[in-house]
């Protein structure tokens, strides 16, 4: 598994360890080892500090195989930073995915699960947006890099018979978060509990999915699929940024917090921010998967989980 120490990766490792042997890698660019330390006690878990942009180093994993499948979660996740440094998404998300596929080809690994994103569609004119929506016109280098990753996976599937399950995520939230709107709001209110800065106009609405539903959906849909395919993972509802701010304020037990809106271009939080995103989950529903929590409930649960984790981090 790539990105095993990160947000979704650490939750995925924990989910799989009961019945599987897991080999995880991460370069610790976005996180340290705090979320995988407890997992190292398991005889079924091993970890290496490796960077997916270095194919030569990745090939040292050959001695750890053979492997049944790759779960590719490693990526640069700073969507906002793409307009400042346009090269990082290319190096990490595109070249990194190519390197992972090359390793899979050389090791005869015939299955890969890939974390893509709703951002591949750009500002879609169809809501909820189905998997076959097109043309895909991403408005961020992050979205463009994920779309390129999808293309490389389907090409390798055709060339070499690697079955790929591509998952376009809604906004994933929950414990072990290293970034995102909930994380950012909590950190801001830790610094100043009287004022909450909200990027954009607060009306941005997106579908939020709890990380437990995310990891279960990835495994379930990959197992019931028989060919390379694309699945949306999200909820049938959306949650506004303003509502998330209120959930965080409530979770922290604060009162009389003043909200300050930055009113970005078109109400966006930053260049490349998709203001409204909602994925159609009809395909996943027909395959037998449904999220256990609504979008609002996913956010509320995530707030309850992340607040104590960030408190522990601050006190460590």
In the block, residue with structure tokens 């609405």: 205
pLDDT tens column, 90-113: 999 999 999 999 999 999 999 999
Question: What CATH number does residue 23 fall under?
Answer: 3.40.50.720
Full-model pTM: 0.95
Q: Tally Cβ neighbours within 10 Å of residue 125.
A: 8
CA distance from start to end of the chain: 28
Task: Give the separation between CA 169 and CA 172, rounded to whole angstroms.
Answer: 7
pLDDT tens column, 165-197: 999 999 999 999 988 999 999 999 999 999 999
- 300 domain-assigned: no
pLDDT tens column, 273-289: 999 999 999 999 999 99
- Give the mean pLDDT of 246-258: 97
Q: Measure the CA angle with vertex 272, ends 270 and 277; round to 5°.
A: 100
Task: Give the separation between CA 284 and CA 190, rounded to whole angstroms.
Answer: 38
- 197 domain-assigned: no
- 157 domain-assigned: yes
More confident residue, 30 or 248: 248
Task: Give the separation between CA 51 and CA 305, rounded to whole angstroms.
Answer: 29
For residue 33, the enclosing domain spans: 7-179+207-236+278-293
Number of folded domains in the chain? 1
- 27 domain-assigned: yes
Task: Give the separation between CA 228 and CA 220, rounded to whole angstroms.
Answer: 15
Above 70 in pLDDT, residue 264? Answer: yes
- 140 domain-assigned: yes
- 311 domain-assigned: no
- 118 domain-assigned: yes
* Count of CA atoms in the C-beta half-sphere (13 A) of 261: 13
The pLDDT value given to residue 316:
52
Q: Tally Cβ neighbours within 10 Å of residue 286.
A: 8
- 162 domain-assigned: yes
């Amino acid at each position: 598994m790539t990105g095993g120490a990160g947000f979704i990766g650490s939750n995925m490792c924990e989910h799989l360890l009961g019945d599987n042997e897991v080999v995880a890698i991460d370069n610790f660019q976005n996180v340290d080892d705090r979320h995988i330390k407890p997992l190292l006690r398991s005889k079924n878990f091993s970890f290496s500090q490796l960077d997916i942009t270095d194919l030569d180093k990745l090939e040292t994993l050959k001695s750890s195989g053979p492997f049944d499948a790759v779960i590719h979660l490693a990526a640069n996740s700073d969507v906002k930073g793409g307009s400042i440094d346009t090269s990082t998404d290319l190096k990490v998300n595109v070249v990194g995915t190519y390197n992972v596929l090359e390793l899979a080809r050389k090791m005869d690994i015939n299955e890969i699960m890939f974390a893509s994103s709703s951002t591949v569609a750009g500002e879609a004119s169809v809501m909820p947006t189905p998997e076959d929506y097109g043309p895909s016109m991403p408005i961020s280098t992050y979205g463009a890099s994920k779309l390129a990753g999808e293309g490389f996976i389907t090409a390798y599937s055709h060339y070499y018979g690697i079955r790929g399950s591509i998952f376009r995520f809604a906004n994933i939230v929950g414990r072990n978060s290293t970034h995102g709107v909930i994380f950012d709001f909590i950190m801001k209110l830790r610094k100043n509990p009287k004022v909450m800065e909200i990027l954009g106009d607060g009306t941005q609405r997106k579908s939020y999915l709890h990380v437990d539903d995310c990891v279960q959906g990835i495994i379930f849909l990959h197992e019931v699929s028989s060919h390379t395919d694309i699945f949306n993972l999200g909820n049938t509802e959306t949650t506004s940024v303003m509502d998330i701010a209120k959930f965080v304020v409530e979770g922290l037990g604060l009162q009389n917090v003043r909200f300050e809106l930055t009113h970005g271009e078109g109400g966006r939080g930053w260049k490349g921010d998709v203001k409204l995103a909602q994925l159609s989950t009809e395909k996943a529903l027909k395959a037998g998967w449904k999220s256990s929590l609504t979008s609002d409930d996913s956010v509320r649960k995530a707030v309850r989980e992340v607040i104590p984790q960030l408190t522990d981090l601050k006190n460590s």
